[in-house]
Amino acid sequence: MSRKKSVDPELAATLSRRNMLGVAAGTGAAAILGLSAATPAAAAERGRGHGHGHGKTEPVLTPGHLGIQLYSLRDKVNSLGFAKVFEELERFGYDEIEYAGYTQGNAGAITIPQLRKLARDHGLRPIGSHVNYADDNNPDAYSFAQNLEKVLDDAQALGLDHIGTASGPFRYGNTVDAWKRAAADFNAYGAAARKRGMKFYQHNHAEEFSFASDQPGVRLYDVLLAETDPKLVYLEMDIYWAFAAKHRFSKTGDGRPAPLDPLKYVLKQPDRYPLFHVKDGVKNEEARDGYDMVDVGDGDIDYKKFISAVNKTHNGRKDHHWQAEHDNPVDSLLFAQKSADHLHSLREKRC
């Protein structure tokens, strides 16, 4: 049985304070970091979908469930440090963060307890973290395969609900049996995480939806789903990369049609998908992935429809969390602010 996590009382107090005071994402951020986001256009974007005159509608994103993958802000974490970045994320209205490492480069050393306190002080709930799956050339690597207990110790010390990897399950190759071996690894990591009250998860890129080299009609992602225990191994769907996979892998390895619908995977097993990455892309049929990645709200991927469909599943609004991300934004803090503004503005008809 998994241990039920208790609510951090200090984080709850911070969130309560934020709800009372409101989150000002415009002028305060501009004053601190010189952002040019406190504009009439930004204010209009924030205002859309809020207040009066919208009839029987509700936010597409469940209040309290908007997060950001800190990989998008790695340049600012490295130069400014977590404290300044968290300050800005609080101002932008984020509720959650997903880690991509626990160091801050040129900003100096920081400890796990200090990092947890910083997040709590800014009302940011640490929802998950990406850690490498395996580095078999380095027995001391910070990865699940080489240092499982240390990875879980740190995750538990940070107060994480989920701990996962963005590494594809290619440790043993891309055959069906290789992925069965990787699935066995994941089941073991999931069991270890569950004993500590956390959920282990895997984050996809496009290649997970490719086909086995020895059985070209078998999609590798289907092997992962079939061979992992749904009570031990969870999934974080990256919407952008899933749509890129739809473009790249709509035929089997031997050329037969193999339509791919990312949303159907989620709707079939919604409880296995607690986390999502919300990324956007402009269609480009000449690009390998079929899209060019852009800021959230600037592209062609219909993530509003995607989120709305997930919301309609059992406990959909309660159980799912949405992390904005861009792998290489031009201006990472501006990306973070634009994403929060845009995602907060989305509305849908109330059920």
DSSP string of 60-120, one letter each residue: SSPTT-EEEEGGGGHHHHHHH-HHHHHHHHHHHT--EEEES-S--GGG----HHHHHHHHH
CA 31 vs CA 28, 34, 61, 139, 157: distances in Å: 5, 6, 28, 46, 34
CA distance 29 to 208: 38
Q: What one-character DSSP code corresponds to residue 254?
A: T
- Model pLDDT, residue 28: 40
For a pLDDT cut of 90, what percent of the chain falls above it? 82
CA 226 vs CA 197, 218, 222, 230, 324: distances in Å: 24, 12, 6, 9, 28
Residues 6 or more apart whose CB falls under 8 angstroms from that of 175 comprise 212, 213, 214, 215
> For residues 22 and 219, which has the higher predicted lDDT (pLDDT)?
219
Q: β-strand 275-278 against 280-283: which pairing, if any?
A: unpaired
In this predicted structure, the answer to whether residue 296 has a pLDDT above a threshold of 60 is yes
Residues 6 or more apart whose CB falls under 8 angstroms from that of 59 comprise 49, 344, 346, 347, 348
CA distance 323 to 271: 17
10 in Cβ contact with 120 (< 8 Å)? yes
What backbone phi and psi angles, to 5 degrees, belong to 202?
Answer: -120, 135
How is domain 9-349 classified at the architecture level of CATH? Alpha-Beta Barrel (3.20)
Per-residue pLDDT band for 18 (boundaries 50, 70, 90) equals low
What is the mean predicted confidence (pLDDT) over 110-132?
Answer: 98
> For residues 318 and 51, which has the higher predicted lDDT (pLDDT)?
318
pLDDT digit string, tens, across residues 180-206: 999 999 999 999 999 999 999 999 999
What is the mean predicted confidence (pLDDT) over 259-278?
Answer: 98
State the virtual CA torsion across 99, 104, 109, 110 in degrees, nearest 10: -30
171 in Cβ contact with 185 (< 8 Å)? yes
Instruction: Determine the length of the chain.
Output: 351
Task: Give the burial string for 133-150 (b: 16+ CB within 10 Å, else e).
Answer: bbbeeeeeeebbbbbbee
pLDDT digit string, tens, across residues 51-107: 334 568 999 999 999 999 999 999 999 999 999 999 999 999 999 999 999 999 999
Helix, strand or coil, per DSSP, at residue 133: coil
- Model pLDDT, residue 350: 80
Q: Give the closest residue to 14 by CA, choosing from 101, 87, 106, 104.
A: 87
In this predicted structure, the answer to whether residue 168 has a pLDDT above a threshold of 50 is yes
- Model pLDDT, residue 46: 39
- Model pLDDT, residue 349: 85
Tokens representing 30 are: 């501009």
- Model pLDDT, residue 16: 52
| Mean predicted lDDT score pLDDT of the chain | 89
pLDDT digit string, tens, across residues 128-152: 999 999 999 999 999 999 999 999 9
What is the mean predicted confidence (pLDDT) over 202-223?
Answer: 99
In this predicted structure, the answer to whether residue 44 has a pLDDT above a threshold of 80 is no
pTM, rounded to two decimals: 0.87
In this predicted structure, the answer to whether residue 6 has a pLDDT above a threshold of 80 is no
CA 311 vs CA 162, 304, 307: distances in Å: 20, 10, 6
Per-residue pLDDT band for 254 (boundaries 50, 70, 90) equals very high
Angle at the Cα of 309 (from 231 to 314), degrees rounded to 5?
A: 45
DSSP H or E stretch at residue 163: strand 162-165
